[in-house]
């Protein structure tokens, strides 16, 4: 059974404005100064157990050239172009049916393009256990993350108690308030929902047919078009007709064959500037700085990203996010970072979409 990796890379990263823009969203950026963009790290993470020809990247049509530039081992046929955003279920259905057009025996990994995993060896060990399980069981497997704190920014997976590493999922829980999050992590059967999945081709096709028959039938009609010059025209013709729904709501929360494995792999979904700050190295005053000429005087607990080569001087600032780009400068209190998405929208309304 061949392993395939489907990378979902269509988001615009609006919470990371002004660094992330529609023309260059966060999955194509190097946020932590590692020398690799997030999508490059994602590809590299799986490349030890997925062959180059078995990667598929589902993205917006505007990002085709970016994908091919940053992942030169892939060819055009491996970049699947969505004409519009319809959430994760249609995105995954497209990739699944494209794979089904050339094989009926495959193990599929689904992953976002913009997550961070710091413990590669532990990650590979867990993923190989997942792949071995789905190769021999008709189960939908989701990767749970061992909670390190009572975080209110993640959804949670509640699993049944029992022996063994792979456990049946009892239910998915929405992002909790702090008191509920503390209650969750006091128990041994809760994990963060990573948004990564492993299943066999046969199992997920059965699930789409059962739980999302409208989406499934649309993509099934394209069997003769996949891997041909007619593929894009076919996708463009059906995509608007797909229900906009996530794979979580559409399949995972309905199915009774959902299992999870708890993983301690140094994971973050890099969902906000605050999560980037948490992961970065800091100076003695707890400032996280990205840029080669930053002078931060009498300031603490700040995240500052400046333009390389540009002198940036900041005095007396505490608990702020400062992001400077060639077109935009944002200075905002860390506690108000949830408002960035709305502020970005206001910038677009007032100054035009070129700035967002």
Q: For 88-95, what is the mean pLDDT?
A: 98
275: confidence class by pLDDT, cuts 50, 70, 90: confident
In this predicted structure, what is the pLDDT of residue 33? 77
Structural fold of domain 2-268: Spore Coat Polysaccharide Biosynthesis Protein SpsA; Chain A (3.90.550)
The reported pLDDT for the residue numbered 356 is: 94
Question: What single-letter DSSP state applies at residue 61?
Answer: G
Helix, strand, coil abundance in the chain, percent, nearest 5:
35, 25, 35
Name the percent of the chain lying above pLDDT 70. 100
Q: How confident is the model over 319-347, as a mean pLDDT? A: 95
Average pLDDT value over all residues in the chain: 95
CA-CA distance, 341 to 345, in Å (whole number)? 6
Which residues partner with 106 through β-bridges? 2
Per-residue pLDDT, averaged over 187-194, amounts to 93
Q: Average pLDDT for residues 78-93, to the nearest whole number?
A: 97
Beta bridge partners of 117: 267
Question: What digits encode the pLDDT tens for the residues 230-273?
Answer: 999 999 999 999 999 999 999 999 999 999 999 999 999 888 99
The structure's pTM equals 0.93
**Confidence band (pLDDT; 50, 70, 90) for 92?**
very high
Q: Phi/psi of residue 8, each to 5°?
A: -90, 115
Instruction: State both tokens at 238.
Output: 């059906």
Q: Does residue 32 have a pLDDT over 90?
A: no
Q: Classify burial at 274, counting beta carbons within 10 Å of its beta carbon; exposed 0-12, middle 13-18, buried 19 or more.
A: middle
On the question of pLDDT at 162 being above 90, the answer is no
pLDDT for res 125: 96
Cis peptide before 117 (omega within 30 of 0): no
Q: Give the CA-trace dihedral at 343, 349, 354, 356, to 10 degrees.
A: 20
The residue-averaged pLDDT of 127-132 equals 96
Note whether 142 and 260 are within 8 A (CB): yes
Domain regions of the chain by residue span: 2-268, 273-355
């Amino acid at each position: 059974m061949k392993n395939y990796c489907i990378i979902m890379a269509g988001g615009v990263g609006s919470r990371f404005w002004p660094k992330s823009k529609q023309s260059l969203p966060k999955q194509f950026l190097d946020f932590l100064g590692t020398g690799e963009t997030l999508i490059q790290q994602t590809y590299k993470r799986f490349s030890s157990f997925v062959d180059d020809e078995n990667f598929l990247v589902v993205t917006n049509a505007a990002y085709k050239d970016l994908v091919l530039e940053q992942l030169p081992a892939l060819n055009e046929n491996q970049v699947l172009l969505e004409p519009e955003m319809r959430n994760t279920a249609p995105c995954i259905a497209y990739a699944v049916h494209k794979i089904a057009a050339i094989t009926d025996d495959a193990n599929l990994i689904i992953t976002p393009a913009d997550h961070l995993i710091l413990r590669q060896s532990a990650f590979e060990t867990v993923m190989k256990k997942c792949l071995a399980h789905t190769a021999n069981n008709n189960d939908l497997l989701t990767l749970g993350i061992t909670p390190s704190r009572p975080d209110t920014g993640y959804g949670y997976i509640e699993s049944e108690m029992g022996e063994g590493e792979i456990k049946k999922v009892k239910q998915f829980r929405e992002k909790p308030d702090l008191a509920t999050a503390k209650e969750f992590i006091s128990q041994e059967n809760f994990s963060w929902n990573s948004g990564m999945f492993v299943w066999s081709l046969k199992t997920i096709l059965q699930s789409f047919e059962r739980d999302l028959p409208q989406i499934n039938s649309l993509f099934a009609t394209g069997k003769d078009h996949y891997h041909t010059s007619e593929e894009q025209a076919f996708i463009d013709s059906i995509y608007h007709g797909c229900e906009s729904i996530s794979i979580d709501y559409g399949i995972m929360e309905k199915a009774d064959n959902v299992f999870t494995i708890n993983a301690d792999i140094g994971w973050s979904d890099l969902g906000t500037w605050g999560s980037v700050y948490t992961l970065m190295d800091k100076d003695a005053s707890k400032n996280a700085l990205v840029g080669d000429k930053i002078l931060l005087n009498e300031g603490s607990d700040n995240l500052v990203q400046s333009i390389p080569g540009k002198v940036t001087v900041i005095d007396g600032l505490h608990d702020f996010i400062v992001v400077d780009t060639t077109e935009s400068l944002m200075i905002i209190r860390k506690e108000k970072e949830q408002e960035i998405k709305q502020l970005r929208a206001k910038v677009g309304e007032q100054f035009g979409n070129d700035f967002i």
